[in-house]
Amino acid sequence: MRVFALQLESFKENLMQSLFNSIPKKSVIVLPEYVINPFFHHNMGLDVNEISAQSARAIEFLSQKCEELDLIVSAPVLLEEHSKIYKKIALISKEKIQYYTQQRLIPYPHWDEESFFDNEKSAFKELLVFERDGLKFAPLFGFEAHFDEIWVQAKNQGVDVVLLSS
């Protein structure tokens, strides 16, 4: 098993196809934030359906690659639920798709995710943990790494590797 942290500017299917063709089977892949859906200020002008369509196309492509190559992909996405937008990580494998909802959003005036996304702000919850080749992995967003409670949660859940999308 290998872990690949891809640093990309955008989700272009031709580039993704080429990258995935060079990745060994049974690998774990981490995508950065705002690749599938551009920086959230850009999305403020988009219809909720357009944002959902971006995510759906990417998840479909990634699901197909996971099925073909037995990969696990950690992919930050924006998802619409009941006309609200949530910032999540899609954890995609050949068996299923699971979602981890970001637990803390950036509140700064120049990057105010809290005012745009509808993620709940509550006490920290359990992380989404999966196992591959005897190692326990958990996907996280970059901003969450600033909070000690997240690391305590990871330790309590026996996480060996944090997949940090930033």
> Residues 74-126: pLDDT tens digits?
999 999 888 888 899 999 999 999 999 999 887 777 777 887 787 888 888 99
Domain that holds residue 94: 3-165
As for how many domains the chain has, the answer is: 1
pLDDT by residue (tens digit) across 5-39?
Answer: 998 888 888 899 999 999 999 999 999 988 888 76
The predicted model gives 42-49 an average pLDDT of 68
Domain containing residue 113: CATH number: 3.60.110.10
Report the half-sphere exposure of 102 (CA within 13 A, side-chain side).
29
Residue 146 pLDDT > 90: yes
CA angle 39, 76, 91 (to 5 degrees): 170
pLDDT for 8: 86
